[in-house]
Amino acid sequence: MDIVQGLMLGFSVATTPANLLWALLGAWIGTFVGIMPGLGVSATIAILLPITFGMSPASSLIMMAAIYCGAKYGGAVTSILMNLPGESSSVPTCLEGYPLALQGRAGPALGLAAISGFVAGTVSVVGLTLLGPLLAFLAMSFGPPEYFAMTFLGLCLVTSLTGKSLIKGSLSVVFGLTLSMVGADHMSGSTRLAFGRLELLDGIDFVVVAVGLFALSEILLNIEKQVKIKLMEVPRQLSKLLPTWRDIVQCIPTWVRSTPIGFIVGALPGTGASVASFLSYGLAKAVSKTPERFGKGAIEGLAAAESADNAATGGSMAPMLTLGIPGSASTAMMMGALIMAGVRPGPMLLEKNPEIFWGVTASMYIGNIILIIINLPLVPLIVQFLRMPYYILYIVIIAITSIGVYSLDNSMFDLWMMGFLGVAGYIFRKLDYPLAPCVLAMILGPLVERAMRQSLIMSRGGFDIFLTRPIAAVLLIMAILAFFAPWIQQALTKRGNRRRSPGRGKN
């Protein structure tokens, strides 16, 4: 199936009334999540995971992708109006958006953020359309050793790039891998790490871990932070929300630069939208003829951050769908939802379930159109959501997640587990343990283990199979380099500083 045929199939899937409705609902939920401080996109997908069980895999992924994209659009609203970044990727948006709002340009800033998101989001879906099949084609030649090396590389990248400590990142991965091993071994049938508990024989459901670690711990953190919301005025007329032509012309070179940055960085496991938006913002400042305006309301700084942040969505979907390697907690949860529905993302997805890949890709084009409508003319309406008291929101979240987690297995044990993981998640966050590697490891754990054991069966127990196959060897070397990258970088910086300091002394 070529790209044109694929897209036609995709649009036929995405434009069914039910899927359009899921995309619309997802876009609204995503925007709501984006504008609500203290409600992250990963936590929301975790909350909604149990609800997606009754849906077809394509529909559930369409809704989750719309939430994912919607949260990026919505994130700009609180950053601009309240100087409150919902996620770290929105920090550069605050740096320029809030000063613009203080100058009385909140409307154009919101408008420009939405337009930047639309341009970059749409271009990144074009990237996904073109590169997705190519990536899947390349990955078709992969056997278990290459697959093991690739998943291992994904885990190493996530470990080294998220969080502040390599040791804590590694512990998070090991914790996730260990949780994934609880229950019956898929190859031998032996029960592992169940501690005699009948409830653990089937393993720990990924949803329980995701909801506990992300959703519940986030509620605890928000209660600790005593989230308070102070809202700035938003103009009600569309004309006052639109940026001027001068603003748009000023931002075109920024969009051209930032969109590919967002897409490429978003596709790398562990880097994601935060790195993309900071990198893009930094570049916009570096190439600007008037860098002194940055931090005081430079419109191209806002465009750089927003376009890179939104372009990362298409980029991050590509490896998840075509290689089966999610790069972030959000895409890991989407992958988990597909696996639970009996669909295995990876190179064979395009062969076996083309309607899912192309349906989601097509829905992201539609989703971007829905989102620009929600985030431009309807923005005065959506900011009213911010008037909802947080205590109502979190209690409803606890109730919904409890019902969802209970209905997985009709087991109260899962609720206990969710509670304990919520407390663990809170402690992990307080102590700077990154949570994304843990969730990723839990999703990838069974795949890593199966690929490793199949490889060793192929080689009759010899570990040299990972070194004698060139692609696997290169990927493993990259994995080791990626893992130790922070230490290598630290050592190089120290060496550089040492070299510079005697020179300074002489001067």
Partner 1 sequence: MSAGKSKEGHQGVTLEQRVNQIFSILWVAVGVIVVTQARDLEYAAEYGPGPGFLPYWMGVAFILLGFALLGQVTFSRQEREALSLPTKHAAWQMLLLMLGFFGFALLGERIGFLLGIGLLFLFLLVAVERKGWKASLTISIINTLAFWVIFELGLTLRLPAGFLDLWR
The residues, any chain, with a CB within 8 Å of residue 30's CB and separated by 6 or more, are 41, 44, 66, 67, 68, 69, 70, 71, 72, 73, 74, 371
**83 scored as a contact of partner 1 (CB under 8 A):** no
- CA dihedral (35, 205, 169, 394) positive or negative: positive
Between β-strands 191-192 and 183-184, what pairing exists: parallel, antiparallel or unpaired?
antiparallel
The residues, any chain, with a CB within 8 Å of residue 361's CB and separated by 6 or more, are 6, 7, 10, 125, 128, 129, 132
**196 scored as a contact of partner 1 (CB under 8 A):** no
Residue 352 burial (CB count, 10 A):
13
**430 scored as a contact of partner 1 (CB under 8 A):** yes
Q: Which residue of 4, 17, 190, 387 would you call a contact of partner 1, by CB under 8 A? A: 190
- Do the beta carbons of residue 479 and residue 149 sit within 8 Å? yes
Output the smallest distance, CB 167 to partner 1, in A.
Answer: 5
Greatest extent of the chain over all pairs of C-alpha atoms, in Å: 74
Output the smallest distance, CB 403 to partner 1, in A.
Answer: 6
Q: Which residue of 252, 381, 388, 399 would you call a contact of partner 1, by CB under 8 A? A: 399
Considering only 203-211, 380-388, 422-430, 491-499, which stretch makes contact with partner 1 by CB under 8 A?
A: 422-430
**197 scored as a contact of partner 1 (CB under 8 A):** no
Residue closer to partner 1 (CB basis): 385 or 413:
413
**494 scored as a contact of partner 1 (CB under 8 A):** no
Residue closer to partner 1 (CB basis): 87 or 300:
87
Output the smallest distance, CB 207 to partner 1, in A.
Answer: 15
Nearest to 74 by CA among 60, 84, 59, 64: 84
**498 scored as a contact of partner 1 (CB under 8 A):** no
Q: Which residue type, as a one-letter code, is found at position 473?
A: A
- Do the beta carbons of residue 98 and residue 288 sit within 8 Å? no
**239 scored as a contact of partner 1 (CB under 8 A):** no
- Do the beta carbons of residue 302 and residue 413 sit within 8 Å? no
- Do the beta carbons of residue 155 and residue 162 sit within 8 Å? no
Question: What is residue 268's three-state secondary structure?
Answer: coil
Output the smallest distance, CB 450 to partner 1, in A.
Answer: 10
**Which helix (DSSP H) or strand (DSSP E) does residue 184 occupy?**
strand 183-184
- CA dihedral (292, 294, 298, 303) positive or negative: positive
Nearest to 443 by CA among 348, 312, 340: 340
Interface of this chain with partner 1, residues 2 to 61, rule: CB under 8 A? 54
Residue closer to partner 1 (CB basis): 137 or 391:
391
Question: What is the 3-class SS of 212-243, one letter each residue?
Answer: HHHHHHHHHHHHHHCCCCCCCCCCCCHHHCCC
Q: Which token pair is 193?
A: 């790490």
Residue closer to partner 1 (CB basis): 314 or 422:
422
Residue closer to partner 1 (CB basis): 165 or 288:
165
**473 scored as a contact of partner 1 (CB under 8 A):** no
- Total residues contacting partner 1 by CB under 8 A comes to 53
In eight-state DSSP terms, residue 204 is -
Residue closer to partner 1 (CB basis): 221 or 485:
221
Considering only 40-48, 298-306, 333-341, 419-427, which stretch makes contact with partner 1 by CB under 8 A?
A: 419-427
In eight-state DSSP terms, residue 192 is E
Q: Which residue of 198, 249, 286, 431 would you call a contact of partner 1, by CB under 8 A? A: 431
Q: Which residue of 17, 141, 195, 504 would you call a contact of partner 1, by CB under 8 A? A: 195
Q: Which residue of 2, 4, 17, 188 would you call a contact of partner 1, by CB under 8 A? A: 188
Output the smallest distance, CB 170 to partner 1, in A.
Answer: 5
Output the smallest distance, CB 461 to partner 1, in A.
Answer: 6
Q: Please, which residues bridge with residue 184 across strands?
A: 191
Q: Which token pair is 462?
A: 């010899």
Residue 297 burial (CB count, 10 A):
19
Residue closer to partner 1 (CB basis): 190 or 501:
190
Binding mask 200-229 for partner 1 (x = CB under 8 A): ----------------x--xx--xxxx---
**Which helix (DSSP H) or strand (DSSP E) does residue 191 occupy?**
strand 191-192
Interface of this chain with partner 1, residues 127 to 186, rule: CB under 8 A? 165, 167-168, 170-171, 174, 177-178, 181, 185
Q: Which residue of 13, 317, 452, 472 would you call a contact of partner 1, by CB under 8 A? A: 452
- Upper half-sphere CA count for residue 199 (Cβ side, 13 Å): 14
Q: How far apart are CA 172 and CA 153, in angstroms?
A: 16
Residue closer to partner 1 (CB basis): 192 or 352:
192
**469 scored as a contact of partner 1 (CB under 8 A):** no
Contact residues for partner 1, defined by CB under 8 A: 54, 165, 167-168, 170-171, 174, 177-178, 181, 185, 187-188, 190, 192-193, 195, 216, 219-220, 223-226, 391-392, 395-396, 398-399, 402-403, 406-407, 410, 412, 415-416, 419, 422-423, 426-427, 430-432, 449, 452-453, 456-457, 460-461
